[in-house]
Amino acid sequence: MNAPSVGQSRLVIVGGTGMVGGCALRYALDHPTVGAVTAIGRSKLGISHPKLKEVLHRDFNALGSGCSGLLSGPPPPRSCFLSP
């Protein structure tokens, strides 16, 4: 995954395999102002993209323990949390 350029957003999407989340994910990957997307889900997305970092996380009850590092680093992420 490439680092976002100055002025580009970094997004975190949870639930990108569903209908709404998948649409939001594809839109974000194609949008020029989005520099990086982290998708957190229980199953693989089945796509690859230079902007995409995919994180598999089976237990959403323990989301904070395994994903806290994803929200650090510049620029701070804008988050889009969707129903998995």
**pLDDT at res. 79:** 58
DSSP 30-79: H-TTEEEEEEEESS------TTEEEEE-S-GGGHHHHHGGGG-SSSPPEE
CA distances from 76 to 7, 9, 37, 67, 70 (A): 12, 8, 12, 14, 10
pTM, to two decimals: 0.73
pLDDT per position as a tens digit, 17-58: 888 888 989 999 999 999 999 888 888 999 999 999 998 877
Closest CA to 27 of 44, 6, 11: 11
